Structure formats: structure tokens, C-alpha cells
Structure 1
Amino acid sequence: MSRNTGSQPRLDPDKIVVSALDIADTEGLGAITIRRLAQEHGVTPMALYRHFRDKDDLLDALAARLLDDIRLPEPTTAPWDEQIRAVLAACLAALRPHPTIAGLVPTRILLSEPGLTLVERTLALLAEAGYPPAQATEIGSQALCSLVTLVATEPGATESTDPDTRDTAVRAKRAALRALAPQRFPHVLAAANALTLCADRDSYYDLGIDFAVAGIRGIRPTGRTT
């Protein structure tokens, strides 16, 4: 019989983050714990604390991972609003696969190099459009939050990843809507399918980006009178 020497496998912080991401994607953010991750990697919780001070530090790393997945387009000579749209589309492409943790990004965007790069690029484009720094910051922040909301509230996106379980939940929601009084809620009844499941995800997200860009265009830069 071999003896247990007490040695533990060498931990790779990147692999811990990947494991946390997988747990969040399948079970939700609340399922992530230091103890759970330690079990996943066959080590004691104390071994994880050598890499992450606490759970909040781990969540910072998760947000940094999402931001690092953003593939910003190269700057071009296109109008600023077209470039802003391309930047928002790049952000959305990184957030869409991870609706349960997308909300970590806005409050942690300044804690990593990829996040700072995204902020600098966005503020530069808004400065080109004539927005002063304080106003540009608010616009950029709200645009990012609108993307997070799109991802987190996509109809049907938060249901179980198991197809049968998801279909059962969607059918139950549709049945509840169709039981409403048609005299009071005729439009809700007509939209019951769309309200419970996103039929065309690409169109849903394209429309969301269009709303964000159109909203930015409609805001007058502070200090301008025309």
C-alpha cells in the first residue's frame, strides 16, 4: 500500500478561474465557493487562498477573464458612432456566453489591463464625438450596463441548461401568460412566445446595440448649444 505523503497538486490560478467560470455558467454565481473549487482541484481551501485572498478576489479574476475575452476591433477612419458600435458588439460577443457573471464586469472594469484598455478606447471615441470626460464616462458606463442587462434578461436565457428542463419551464411560463384575460392583456397574449423565449438571438442583440448607439447619438454634448 502506498503512503499518502500529504503533497498536493500544484495549482494554476488560470485553471481555477476556468473552473469557477464553468460552475457559474452551469449552476449560477452563488454556486462558486472556495471550498467547492478546492474540492474540484483536489486541494485544501488554504491552497486556494495562496492565489486568491477571498471570494471577492476570485470574482475580480472572473471579471478580468471576461474582459480579456473582448476582441476590440482595430481603430479605423470610420465615423465615431460606427466605431462605438463595433466596440459594443465586441463586448457583447464576450458577455453573451456568460449571462450569470456578466454583471461582475461594470464594477470591476478598472481593475485589469483589458478593462482599462476598453475604457480608454471608449472614452477616446466619445471625446472625438465632442463629449467632455465626465459626460463620456456616464455614457460609456450606461452603455456597458445596457449590454449586461441585455445578456442577463434575454428571454429564456436564465432557464436550465438541460434542454428538457428548459422547455418545460418555458412552456409553463407561456401557459401562465395565455391564461391571462384577453380583454385586459391582448398584447401580452399576442407576444407570449417572444416574452418567454428569444426566437432570434442575433436580431435581439443587434437591436440592443442599435438602441445603445442611437441613444448616444441623441445626447447633446455638455456645453454645446447647437
Structure 2
Amino acid sequence: MGKLTAPAIVERALEIGDAEGLDAVTIRRLATDLGVTPMALYWHFKNKEQLLIGLADHLIAGFAPEPADDRPWQQRLRGLLEGLIGVLRGHPCARNVLEQVSQTSVPRFLAVWDEALGLARSAGFSVEESCLITKYLLQSAITIADAPVHYQPGRTAEEVAEIFRVKRLELESLPAGRYPHLVEMAGPMVSGTPGLYDTFGVDLICAGIEALAARR
């Protein structure tokens, strides 16, 4: 292969992490897959901790704020939330990566965090409120990306359909007199619409922040 680069190492680590989990991502495994010696990788990442920081930085790169962004704060804050959800949804190992690294060690995460704090302050929130908003945004993104069973990778269409069927029947079999709304909404409660799940969740979080800002 050509000259070994840090991006090539990170890309392969991400592929392994998504397919097999982060425990499978080791210097020795990466060296074998990339056709080099472990020492060649140590030139770029001295240990797994540094590799995970590189992974986190690479993941965040896709939606880190652009300089001189003059969009309204509402649009920019929404973009950060949607970007983080996209990363978490697109890479099964992303949440694990972000939870295992020190956030202050990831330059692009710091940029996103700083951007979110600044946007909250520009919306009229206090320092303490702005700190809380950024924490809520991160946890909301994780919650939205931790989607129902129909988002889980590795399931066949038949398996998903059967899961839907069983769960729907469980709800439809409840006493309608006692749980009328659960019985009525059994179908959408179980399966729902993947696109709506994400967009409505983002709308819900952002609308709450905007409503609070309007009261300032």
C-alpha cells in the first residue's frame, strides 16, 4: 500500500468499530488490516486513547461549524443538533467513541461545544442556562439517535416486520376500555416513521429552546 496516513488509520478503525464494536479496534488489528507493522501506527497514534481521540475528531468533522456563518442562531443550533444525530445514527460506534474520550481532548468537539454556548448566549440565555442547553442538546441527540428497534443494523426486513407484528399485537390486545389510546395508536407507537422520528424530535427540542428565548 502507499504511504500510511492518520486519516487512513482512522477510517479503517471506524469501519471495524461500526462492524464489530470498539473492543475489536486494536493497534495490532489495524496494523494487520493495513498491511503494516504496529510500530508504523505508533508514529500517528501512540496508544488506543489517542486513536479514539482521532476517531472522535474525525466523526465531528462532518458538521463542525464553518467560519463566518451568518445564519440566525436558531438555524445554526438546529444544524449542530442534526449533525450530531447524523453522526450517531450513521456510525454505530460513535456514541461509544464520544463516551470514552475526554471531550476537551477533541478539537472539533470543542469547536462545536463553543459554538453552541455562543449561540445560546446570543439568544439571551444566562451563562448557567447556556451550559445546561449544550448538555441537553448532547443528551437529546444521543436519545434520538438511540432509535427504536427498526433502526438497528443487521436485521432483515422479515425480522423487523415480525418484531413490529408482535409488539403491535401486544398493544392491540390490551383492554381497550382501560387503555383506549394505546390500543388505537398501536401501529404508529410500534413502528412509526423513521424520518418523522428524527425531524419531530429535533423540532421538539429546538422549539422548546426558541420558546424560552422568546420569553427573555
TM-score bucket of the superposed structures, by smaller chain = 0.7 to 0.9
1:85 is matched with 78
Judged with a 3 Å threshold, the aligned counterparts in structure 2 of structure 1 residues 103 and 130 are, in CA distance, closer, same or farther, namely farther
Contact 1:178-1:192 at 8 Å conserved across structures = yes
Q: Secondary structure at the match of 2:151?
A: coil
Q: Which residue of 2 aligns with 1:58?
A: 51
Distance in 2, Cα, partners of 1:56 & 1:82 = 34
Match of 1:213?
Answer: 206
**Larger deviation: 69-78 or 135-144?**
69-78
Structure 1 counterpart SS, 2:156: helix
Are 2:134 and 1:140 equivalent residues in the alignment?
A: yes
1:63 Cα deviation (Å)? 0.7
Q: Which moved more, 1:102-111 or 1:54-63?
A: 102-111
Could you tell which deviates more after superposition, 28-37 or 105-114? 105-114
Following superposition of structure 1 onto structure 2, how do residues 10-159 of structure 1 map, counting pairs within 5 Å? 10-72=3-65, 75-76=69-70, 78=72, 80-105=73-98, 108-159=102-153
Alpha-carbon distance change, 168 to 186 in structure 1, aligned in 2, over 3 angstroms:
farther
- Looking at structure 2, the residues matched to 174 and 18 of structure 1 have their Cα atoms a distance apart, in angstroms, of 34
Does residue 182 (structure 1) correspond to residue 190 (structure 2)? The answer is no
CA contact (8 A) 1:159 1:169 kept: no
Instruction: Report the CA distance shift for 1:139/1:192 in structure 2 as closer, same or farther (over 3 A).
Output: same
Which secondary structure state, in structure 2, belongs to the residue aligned with residue 159 of structure 1?
coil
The change in CA–CA distance for 1:33 and 1:214 in structure 2 (over 3 A counts) is same
- d(CA) in 2 for partners of 1:108 and 1:196? 36
Deviates more, 1:171-180 or 1:126-135: 171-180
Q: Which residue pairs with 1:4 in the alignment?
A: none
Matched residue SS, 2:92: coil
Q: What TM-score do the two structures reach when normalised by structure 1?
A: 0.74
Let me know the Cα RMSD of the aligned residues: 3.3
Change in 2 beyond 3 A, CA 1:22/1:190: farther
Report the Cα distance in structure 1 between the residues aligned to 2:120 and 2:15, rounded to whole angstroms: 35
Q: d(CA) in 1 for partners of 2:34 and 2:88?
A: 26
Runs of 5+ in structure 2 lacking a partner? none
Residues 34 and 55 in structure 1, CA contact (< 8 A), matched pair in contact too: yes
Question: What is the aligned-residue identity percentage?
Answer: 30
Shift of 1:149: 2.2
Q: Is the CA contact 1:100–1:152 (under 8 Å) kept in the aligned structure 2? A: no
Unaligned runs of 5+ in 1: 1-7
| Residue equivalent to 1:3 | none
Is the Cα contact below 8 Å between 1:24 and 1:100 reproduced in 2?
Answer: yes
Give the count of matched residue pairs. 210
* Counterpart-to-counterpart distance in 2, 1:44 and 1:195: 51
When the two structures are superposed, what TM-score results if normalisation uses the length of structure 2?
0.77
Structure 1 residues 49, 196: closer, same or farther in 2, change over 3 A?
farther
